[in-house]
Amino acid sequence: MSNMKKKKMTTAQQQYDALISTIEPKRPILKNCIRAFLVGGAICSIGQILQWFFINYYNFDEKTSVGPTSLVLIFFAVLFTGLGIYDHLSQWAGSGTAVPITGFANSIASASIEHKSEGFVLGVAGNMFQLAGAIIVYGVFAAVVVATIKMAITWLGAM
């Protein structure tokens, strides 16, 4: 709030503000930053390990290994969201779990799970659309299907 718009506080409000500042626990900023760094770094490291795995064992190159790597990260983020693990991890790690692809998958899955009692069309799919939009949801679904087919073809070709 700018200083020009700031109203002067009464004596009682100033006393209350002073009391609250002494009672309110201090936030452990350094500890929170370390937790976010460790968890976010672990998620990114898992992504790099997955990419290395797809490059070395399935003969993908750096460009084509991005799809299956993203698919696996999205799958586990949604699975852990459904099992309630991702919520506990995000409470502990804070913004470290907001790594773009897993955080986005978690937000879509959370909205769907929250409204599952309304049915699959109006509850689950409707709230995914509300949060992410139809293009993103079907884009991710199409990526899953295409990546699965590509992996199956690559795996069968390697035999």
Q: Is residue 17 part of a domain?
A: no
Q: By C-alpha distance, which of 119, 76, 124, 84 is closest to 101?
A: 76
Rounded Cα–Cα distance for residues 86 and 97 (Å): 8
Q: Is residue 14 part of a domain?
A: no
* Range of the structural domain that residue 110 is part of: 27-158
Tens digit of pLDDT at every position of the chain (159 positions):
445 567 788 999 888 988 888 888 888 999 999 999 999 999 999 999 999 999 999 999 999 999 999 999 999 999 999 899 999 999 999 888 988 789 888 887 887 777 777 777 777 766 666 666 665 777 888 999 999 999 999 988 877
Rounded Cα–Cα distance for residues 46 and 89 (Å): 15
Q: Is residue 21 part of a domain?
A: no
Q: Is residue 8 part of a domain?
A: no
Q: Is residue 4 part of a domain?
A: no
DSSP state letter for 60? -
Give me the pLDDT at residue 134, please. 61
Q: Is residue 45 part of a domain?
A: yes
Give me the pLDDT at residue 133, please. 65
Q: Is residue 93 part of a domain?
A: yes
- Number of domain units in the chain: 1
Q: Is residue 127 part of a domain?
A: yes
Rounded Cα–Cα distance for residues 67 and 90 (Å): 25
Angle CA 126–128–134, to nearest 5: 85
DSSP state letter for 95? G
CA distances from 62 to 12, 53, 55, 113, 157 (A): 63, 11, 7, 34, 20
Give me the pLDDT at residue 1, please. 44
* Residues in CB range of 141: below 8 A, 6 or more apart: none
